[in-house]
Amino acid sequence: MRILLTGAAGFIGSHLSEKLLSLGHEVVGIDNFDPFYDRKIKESNIATAIKNTSFKLIEADLTSTQLWETLKTEKFDSIIHLAAKAGVRPSMADPIGYNNSNIMGTTHLLEYARNCGPKKVIFASSSSVYGVNKNLPWSVEDEKLQPISVYAYSKLSGEALCRLYQKYFGLSIIGLRFFTVFGPRQRPDLAIHKFVKAIDQGKTIQMFGDGKTFRDYTFIEDIVAGIVGALNYNNSEFELFNLGNTHTVSLMELVQTIEDLMGKKATIEYLPEQPGDVPYTWSNIEKSTKLLGYNPSTGIREGIGKFIEWYRQQ
């Protein structure tokens, strides 16, 4: 297949690019190299893919009309839309920026698919759309969504747009709700990366809350496998799936696991919980397992071990 991949130079996008290329697909990647973190990190992420003759990278913003004019004559079999302005806490400080990037960027992409592009779109959503729902673990079927951050609302808006474009404009769309993805190349602002770096350097780590909040951490290779499963799924015109690990880990347990694997103790500064942060996430993946063949296999200890190995090589 020939695939248009947005967010291609990011943490998930770069891993997915390499996987798609290894499967024999041709990938045209888009990334705007948002200054949210150092450009050099993304350049390092994508270095392997760029060496492949079946990969092309376009540096552009999804809200750019010039980008979509340029792609008008291109032919793709599928679009995988990973690009987004990331982060729950930063979204509370920049609602306009997040809505412009995540909602308007998605609208531009769907308009392209409607008028010029392929009819199949895979949209990267987020577990944050569930918000503070106490009905654990969360299923995609008939679950009450209670998002509490601008980022979460922007992702839920993306899902709503996808439903609309499928219903009225004949697109075939799959939405994937990712649950706390981690592994090599993880963004430097995320907890595991920050904690490993601080503990390694003997610096204090900041823990928001009492350490009892918990997350469903999902290893990057499992997420990529789920996306590939969605790419090969053609049995309905619109579906939503959870891509999680189904095993939850408390924040304190996460820190203790990192301490154990690094052989160093953490110095912890306890701070109040932050606006927009949810107290827990937990995925029900029965639907994903049944329809996508999704079967996550990397646990938190093994996954953090692989991250630490990658971190030490940098």
Which tens digit of pLDDT belongs to each residue from 81-113? Answer: 999 999 899 999 999 999 999 999 999 999 999
> Two tokens at 312?
């030490």
Residue 273: its pLDDT value, please? Answer: 86
* C-alpha–C-alpha distance, residues 21 and 223, integer Å: 16
Name the nearest CA neighbour of 276 among 134, 93, 9.
93
* C-alpha–C-alpha distance, residues 181 and 176, integer Å: 12
Instruction: Report the 10 Å Cβ neighbour count for 250.
Output: 15
Compute CA distances 218 → 90, 149, 245, 282, whole Å.
22, 21, 5, 11
Residue 142: its pLDDT value, please? Answer: 74
- DSSP track, 69-118: HHTTT---SEEEE------HHHHHH-HHHHHIIIIIHHHHHHHHHHHTS-
Residue 45: its pLDDT value, please? Answer: 97
Is-contact 270 210, C-beta < 8 A? yes
Residue 298: its pLDDT value, please? Answer: 98
Name the nearest CA neighbour of 102 among 131, 128, 77, 135.
128
Residue 277: its pLDDT value, please? Answer: 87
Per-residue pLDDT of the chain (314 residues; tens, 9 = 90+): 999 999 999 999 999 999 999 999 999 999 999 998 999 999 999 999 999 999 999 999 999 999 999 999 999 999 999 999 998 999 999 999 999 999 999 999 999 999 997 899 999 999 999 999 999 999 998 788 989 999 999 999 999 999 999 999 999 999 999 999 999 999 999 999 999 999 999 999 999 888 999 999 999 999 999 999 999 999 999 999 999 999 999 999 999 999 999 999 999 999 998 888 899 999 999 999 999 999 999 999 999 999 999 999 98
Tell me the residue type at 148: I
Residue 205: its pLDDT value, please? Answer: 95
Q: Is the dihedral of CA 173, 174, 179, 182 positive or negative?
A: negative
- DSSP track, 262-286: HT-PPEEEEEPPPTT--SB--B--H
CA atoms within 13 A on the CB side of 160: 11
Give me the residue spans of the domains in the chain: 2-182+218-246+285-296
Q: What is the CATH number of domain 2-182+218-246+285-296?
A: 3.40.50.720
Compute CA distances 148 → 117, 151, 155, 216, 306, whole Å.
34, 9, 12, 18, 32
Tell me the residue type at 229: G
- DSSP track, 220-247: HHHHHHHHHHHHT--S-SEEEEEE--S-
The residue to which tokens 């997040």 are assigned? 98
* C-alpha–C-alpha distance, residues 311 and 306, integer Å: 9
Q: Which residues are catalytic?
A: 151
pTM score of the predicted model: 0.96
3-state secondary structure of 290: helix
* C-alpha–C-alpha distance, residues 239 and 291, integer Å: 10
Query: Which residues, including other chains, have CB under 8 Å from residue 201's CB and lie 6 or more apart?
Result: none
Residue 143: its pLDDT value, please? Answer: 81
